[in-house]
A and B are shown apart, each in its own frame.
Chain A
Amino acid sequence: DTAVSQTPKYLVTQMGNDKSIKCEQNLGHDTMYWYKQDSKKFLKIMFSYNNKELIINETVPNRFSPKSPDKAHLNLHINSLELGDSAVYFCASSLRGGSGNTIYFGEGSWLTVV
């Protein structure tokens, strides 16, 4: 069983469309994250949730809206997609938030906006 699974793995879509990426973790962790990795491989945190509660909301456009129906799921919805949104989006989880906790990453969702 994959610890952190996200779907779809690949997504090609046109500018202006709305799309969602789903994420589930079966590790029983309290904390989940969304990271964005750009073409230069820079990994930047977007959101972090503790037990369904939003803890970190970095400066990302409000076209990006995370939703956590329960602590095992953290989905990412993106409205009005732009070319600059093309990147790899990683869902991740850790037992708790805060320093020193191992972050377990999913395999990533490759988003290409054309």
Chain B
Amino acid sequence: TQLLEQSPQFLSIQEGENLTVYCNSSSVFSSLQWYRQEPGEGPVLLVTVVTGGEVKKLKRLTFQFGDARKDSSLHITAAQPGDTGLYLCAGGWSNNNDMRFGAGTRLTVKP
């Protein structure tokens, strides 16, 4: 079992649709990050959330950290083909170097 469970594992939608992907755990994290990975490249950070209940917006992307700091969601409004990629969440603790990644949600946005 993985520490961070991401759902759905795969998501294929049409351009213009809205979507939400989830990252859940039974562990409490000091912070949670979302990364996007495109084929042939390494993951790139989208956002870091550190406070329970925190909401951050990045253009059409809205990130929320759960009140108990165990889970997070990523909502994309009016998805575009350029949003296609693997979305990874990662949780960390302030007292060590360990960042644990979920298995990711593979998003495909069709034109």
Contact B97 A100 (CB under 8 A): no
Interface string of B1-28 (1 = CB under 8 A from A): 0100000000000000000000000000
Q: How many angstroms from the CA of A41 to the CA of B48 in the assembled complex?
A: 21
Partner of B42, one of A42, A55, A90: A90
Contact B42 A108 (CB under 8 A): yes
Within 8 A of A (CB), among B54-111: 86, 88, 90, 92-101, 103-104, 106
Interface residues on B, range: 20 to 34
Smallest CB separation, B60 vs chain A (Å): 21
Beyond A41-B86, A105-B42, whether A100 also contacts B48 by CB under 8 A is yes
Q: How many angstroms from the CA of A43 to the CA of B89 in the assembled complex?
A: 10
Interface residues on A, range: 20 to 34
Interface string of A83-113 (1 = CB under 8 A from B): 0000000101000011111111111100000
Q: Let me know if A12 is at the binding interface, CB within 8 A.
A: no
Partner of B88, one of A43, A48, A98: A43
Smallest CB separation, A25 vs chain B (Å): 12
Partner of A56, one of B2, B42, B48, B98: B98
Smallest CB separation, B9 vs chain A (Å): 9
Beyond A98-B92, A100-B31, whether A48 also contacts B41 by CB under 8 A is no
Chain B interfacial positions (CB closer than 8 Å to A): 2, 29-31, 33, 35, 37, 40-45, 48, 50, 86, 88, 90, 92-101, 103-104, 106
Chain A interfacial positions (CB closer than 8 Å to B): 4, 31, 33, 35, 40-45, 48, 50, 55-56, 90, 92, 97-108
